[in-house]
């Protein structure tokens, strides 16, 4: 499952854990360090290691939630374009399904360019479950 620690990710995490538990499957919680998330309001910048640590902490919390539900789980944090990284990780980890959340599209840029979830759903070589928030 792919998470970015937004509210949409919380719903996707619950769905992924439920599916893994019901299917007796392992769960990999995957996050991506995105360059645009390194810019803070007011012009400051977050270091890559700080963003990686933030994502890893969130992923570990989901892993613990999965383990508490009886699911074998682990996590990965990569850097790069979210859709590309999710697709690459799903292939390298031989995923059977990708579960990710979908945020409401709030701006014209997203409507024109599409979202991470729609890009992953279009290009993935495995099943994709998009959980609306």
Exposure string of 90-128, with b = 16+ CB inside 10 Å and e = fewer, is beeeebebbbbbbbeeeeeeeeeeebbbbbbbeebeeeb
DSSP 6-19: SHHHHHHHHHHHHH
Q: How far is CA 19 from CA 32, 92, 106, in A?
A: 22, 21, 29
CA nearest neighbour of 120 among 106, 94, 100: 100
pTM recorded for the entire structure: 0.86
Question: Where are the domains positioned within the chain?
Answer: 7-132
**Residues 21, 15: Cα–Cα separation, whole Å:** 10
Architecture of domain 7-132 in this structure: 3-Layer(aba) Sandwich (3.40)
**Residues 130, 126: Cα–Cα separation, whole Å:** 13
- Spatial neighbors of 11 by CB under 8 A, at least 6 apart, are 101, 131, 132, 133
Digits of tens for pLDDT over the chain (133 positions)? 999 988 889 999 999 999 999 999 999 999 999 877 676 667 677 788 888 999 999 999 999 999 999 999 999 999 999 999 999 999 999 999 999 998 766 655 455 445 889 899 999 999 999 998 7
Token digits of residue 79:
């850097």
Count of all residues that appear for the chain in the document? 133
Token digits of residue 67:
């383990």
């Amino acid at each position: 499952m792919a998470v970015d620690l937004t509210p949409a990710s919380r719903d996707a995490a619950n769905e992924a854990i439920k599916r893994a538990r019901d299917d007796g499957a392992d769960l990999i919680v995957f996050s991506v360090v995105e360059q645009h998330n390194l810019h803070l309001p007011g012009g400051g910048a977050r270091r890559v290691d700080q963003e990686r640590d933030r994502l890893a902490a969130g992923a570990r919390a989901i892993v613990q939630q999965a383990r508490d539900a009886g699911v074998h789980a682990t996590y990965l944090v990569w850097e790069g374009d979210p859709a590309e990284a999710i697709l690459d990780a799903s292939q390298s980890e031989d995923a059977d399904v990708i579960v990710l959340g979908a945020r409401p599209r709030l701006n014209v840029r997203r409507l024109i360019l599409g979202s991470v979830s729609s890009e992953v759903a279009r290009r993935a070589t495995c099943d994709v479950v998009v959980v609306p928030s």
